[in-house]
Structure 1
Amino acid sequence: MMKVKPIVRNLGRSILIFLLMVITFSYAMFQGGFVSWFLFYALIPFLLYSFLLSIVPINIQNVQREIKPFHLERGDSARVTVRFQNKTWFPLLFLTVREIDMDKQMIDKLDGQLSNIFIVGWKRNFEWTYELRNLNRGQLAFHGLEITVADFFGWAVRNRTVSDVQTFTVYPKLTHLKYQPIQMQFDHGGIESSVSIVKDTSMVTGIRDYQAGDRFSWIHWKSFAKNETLRTKEFEDRTSQHTFLCIDRTVAYNFEEIVDLAASILQSVVKNQGDISFLSYGLTRRYFPNIKTQSQFQKVIQHLATVQPDANETIYSILTKELKNLSAATFLFITSNFSEEMSHFFTKGTSVMRGAICFVVTEGNVITKRNYPNLKVIHIGREQFQNAFTEVVKP
């Protein structure tokens, strides 16, 4: 039914224009005289153009959309360039192009640039650039273009929709953190930690024969240049304390900052070859164990780009259910709503909660800390994210 209406409307316009031509010709024939024929010859070019425009197929092809920069984070501005070609053989006076089916939040970011007008003639290639400011985290979805062409007086109006579905991701805003390994003492003394062995690539202790699975960056190229045999560097082993990170998806307040801090912590730990796992529990549950490589980190950041505060359980039931069998030494929890009830839960809960650190995201440029038995609570503002690790290791 939706497709039939434009066809009927266009047919009605064509019939109306044809009737106008017949009426002006009949008037000139029956009335005679200079004025009537002048009126006919003055109107007939416009009427003929309008009539042909109403029946000519509008052919728009090769729609392309480019967004710069390619990697977008929350709060960034994006420059969108739309290109398309007009393959219509009939000369067009002008055309209007606009994005269709855009989300309301994207329309608000356009700042009145939803459409653009082009003078056409015989021109074939068109380019339209607009800017999206202060983007929100999530998916940017573009569905296509609506092309509108018209004659001089609006007698013939043609609409053509070109589908071109493209999706772009806006990631959480990453902050460079001053990384320090989390080695802490709590009010009840040291905590037991499950440790793993990692390679300290800054300390080369020797070389050995290459084995399948060795990283490309570990190859000792100098020895390869001498004897054309692949050898691998050996590094000093060091122990690394495992960290378990969880975000609170039961609160909506400052949730964007919660996601930003979680993504920044994950990036910093992975970059510095630490051991970390991540849990995200809401309507959907996602668990990412032992995140060590960039490819694993990209999977997590892709999830964080679309995660929402949609948990329908209390945070206490979620933590009790998920962490009761966890043996990680350091538990990082990020929320924006910390209460005395939560402090009792951490300090008097199961043994897995020993050695917990709770980041409470607040407004402003603040960072304060309060110690509980086996628990550190750090209130941290957006501007202080870079000091998250240094604040943790302070006594």
Structure 2
Amino acid sequence: MEKIWWVIVAFVAILSAALGHNLLLMMSLFLALIGGASHLWARYCLAGVSYRRRFGSTRLFFGEETDFHVEIVNAKPLPLAWLRAEDEFPVDLELLNGRLHTSYRPGRRLLINLLSLRWYERVTRHYRIRGSQRGAWEFGPVEIISGDIFGFSIKREKLQDTQTILVYPRIVPLTALGLPARHPFGDFKTPRRVMEDPTRLMGAREYLPGDSFRHIHWKATARRNELQTKVFEPSAMRPIAIFLNVNTFEYRYEGIDRDLQELAIMTAASIAHWAWEESHPIGLYVNSVTQPGGQRIRIRPGNHPDQLIWILEALARVVTYGRWPIEAVLHVEAPHLRYGTTIIVVSPVVNERLQRTLVDLKNREFGVSLVALGRKRLDMPPPGVQYYHIDGREVWHELEALELG
């Protein structure tokens, strides 16, 4: 369009010179002025323009709402007659005010802001969003579009700035899942009634055959010239390790039951929340990885103040398909668990291999519980393993109406 415009200007200027017509000459100058202004706007319209998102919180519990602000700045002396910003918005988050438009990308919508900006002007649009679906949801990139005031040229620029909102899984009381209110995973008695907490050193004593070499107190040994071993304060709180299987069928080619998978994740989150409220050291192991990053989910049992948050964040980021059988994860991780740890397996799939693994763990003096999900109930649960069954679809649809636990 710009080239055609300058051809017209040149033609009018030549014609005015040939005819000696002053009016045509003034018209050519006026058209040249319009073309120059159009070129200036087209070249510099997006210079100094910035787009910024601000969230009240980037971590949301299920159903929680937060503020979402969009700030657009024109940091130059050239005003903009119009500016259009198309920001990619995750379809699974709910925009409470404003309108979302269709996007060509699956799972995405467009938040479009159309406005004019004076020189050095800042405009802020205010929105509110609700975390209505567990996950790690990415905002952006954003495309900003502007041009000259006559519509001759349009300039586009894609800003690759992206931000992520985490929505934690839904948390419900264990009774809503059909688990008992008192001692849902036993009374936590072990063959050794009192366990030592290796994080709480109390003193040292003479080394005895059978003591672990890892607990030798080298400073006390140097002072007394004989082997000393560390003495730890007793702890009655039994660690809990939650193992989550995100696969809903035994074979990957069978696909995924989304509702059943979300129920399994919600069950793991609710158990972790209950254990944290009961002051148990808790850990989480999942046969999947996080998104983004692709890191294996492996949080060892602990009682750090942020332990529950780490677990909820991992569950928010978990990807759809499990990479390994859950029994393989149990084989790898169980040897690293402390003596007396209670292992809770949450799995929509319970095959013979998993049952044999659970019996083996029970024989190794772990407390073992199995929370199975889906329509199929075991006729004979593994011997010595505490067994619960949660029916899949009915329970999930009932729990969709519940508030946060």
Q: 1:176 to 1:40 in 2, by over 3 A?
A: farther
CA deviations on 1:161-217 (whole Å, 9 max, x unpaired) are: 44534333332233355664446389xxx874765489xxxxxxxxxxxxxxxxxxx
> C-alpha separation between the residues in 2 aligned to 1:107 and 1:51?
41
Alignment of 1:55-66 (within 5 A): 55-56=43-44, 58-61=46-49, 63-66=51-54
Q: 1:379 to 1:43 in 2, by over 3 A?
A: same
Q: 1:72 to 1:119 in 2, by over 3 A?
A: same
Q: Any stretches of 5+ residues in structure 1 without a counterpart?
A: 1-12, 199-236, 388-395
Could you tell me which amino acid in structure 2 is paired with residue 111 of structure 1?
Answer: L
Q: 1:73 to 1:127 in 2, by over 3 A?
A: same
- 1:92 deviates by 2.1
Please say if 1:184 is aligned against 2:186.
yes
Please say if 1:293 is aligned against 2:299.
no
Please say if 1:268 is aligned against 2:274.
yes
Q: 1:338 to 1:75 in 2, by over 3 A?
A: farther
Could you tell me which amino acid in structure 1 is paired with residue 161 of structure 2?
Answer: D
Could you tell me which amino acid in structure 2 is paired with residue 94 of structure 1?
Answer: W
1:206 — aligned with what? none
CA deviations on 1:102-150 (whole Å, 9 max, x unpaired) are: 4875799883143221123447112234566665444333455432212
- 1:293 deviates by 3.2
RMSD between superposed Cα atoms in Å? 4.4
Q: 1:276 to 1:108 in 2, by over 3 A?
A: closer
> C-alpha separation between the residues in 1 aligned to 2:367 and 2:400?
21
- 1:93 deviates by 1.3
1:312 — aligned with what? 323
Alignment of 1:133-148 (within 5 A): 136-148=133-145
- 1:16 deviates by 4.3
Task: Give the 3-state SS of the residue equivalent to 1:164 in structure 2.
Answer: coil
Taking only the aligned residue pairs, the percentage that are identical comes to 16
- 1:26 deviates by 3.5
2:60 — aligned with what? 72
Conserved? CA contact 2:243–2:286, under 8 Å: yes
- 1:247 deviates by 0.6
Task: Give the 3-state SS of the residue equivalent to 1:174 in structure 2.
Answer: coil
Between 1:102-111 and 1:282-291, the stretch displaced more is 102-111
Q: 1:23 to 1:139 in 2, by over 3 A?
A: farther
Q: 1:20 to 1:138 in 2, by over 3 A?
A: farther
How many pairs does the alignment contain? Answer: 329
Could you tell me which amino acid in structure 2 is paired with residue 247 of structure 1?
Answer: L
> C-alpha separation between the residues in 2 aligned to 1:330 and 1:111?
47
Please say if 1:117 is aligned against 2:114.
yes
Alignment of 1:107-256 (within 5 A): 111-112=100-101, 113-122=110-119, 124-129=121-126, 136-177=133-174, 180-182=182-184, 184=186, 192=191, 195-196=194-195, 239-251=236-248, 252-253=256-257, 254-256=260-262
> C-alpha separation between the residues in 1 aligned to 2:154 and 2:118?
16
Conserved? CA contact 1:60–1:162, under 8 Å: no
1:331 — aligned with what? 343
Conserved? CA contact 2:45–2:146, under 8 Å: no
- 1:373 deviates by 2.9
- 1:264 deviates by 2.3
Alignment of 1:373-392 (within 5 A): 373-375=383-385, 376-380=387-391, 381-382=395-396, 383=398
> C-alpha separation between the residues in 1 aligned to 2:327 and 2:71?
52
Conserved? CA contact 1:277–1:289, under 8 Å: yes
Conserved? CA contact 2:76–2:120, under 8 Å: no
Conserved? CA contact 2:358–2:382, under 8 Å: no
Q: 1:270 to 1:47 in 2, by over 3 A?
A: same
Could you tell me which amino acid in structure 2 is paired with residue 292 of structure 1?
Answer: N
Conserved? CA contact 1:244–1:328, under 8 Å: no
1:6 — aligned with what? none
Please say if 1:94 is aligned against 2:82.
yes
1:202 — aligned with what? none
Q: Any stretches of 5+ residues in structure 2 without a counterpart?
A: 102-109, 176-180, 198-233, 249-255, 290-294
Q: 1:33 to 1:353 in 2, by over 3 A?
A: farther
> C-alpha separation between the residues in 1 aligned to 2:278 and 2:187?
22
> C-alpha separation between the residues in 2 aligned to 1:176 and 1:131?
28
Q: 1:318 to 1:197 in 2, by over 3 A?
A: closer
1:358 — aligned with what? 370
- 1:302 deviates by 2.7
Could you tell me which amino acid in structure 2 is paired with residue 328 of structure 1?
Answer: G
Q: 1:185 to 1:126 in 2, by over 3 A?
A: closer
> C-alpha separation between the residues in 1 aligned to 2:48 and 2:31?
29
CA deviations on 1:335-364 (whole Å, 9 max, x unpaired) are: 12235664465457761487532223449x
Query: When the two structures are superposed, what TM-score results if normalisation uses the length of structure 2?
Result: 0.63
> C-alpha separation between the residues in 2 aligned to 1:321 and 1:160?
49
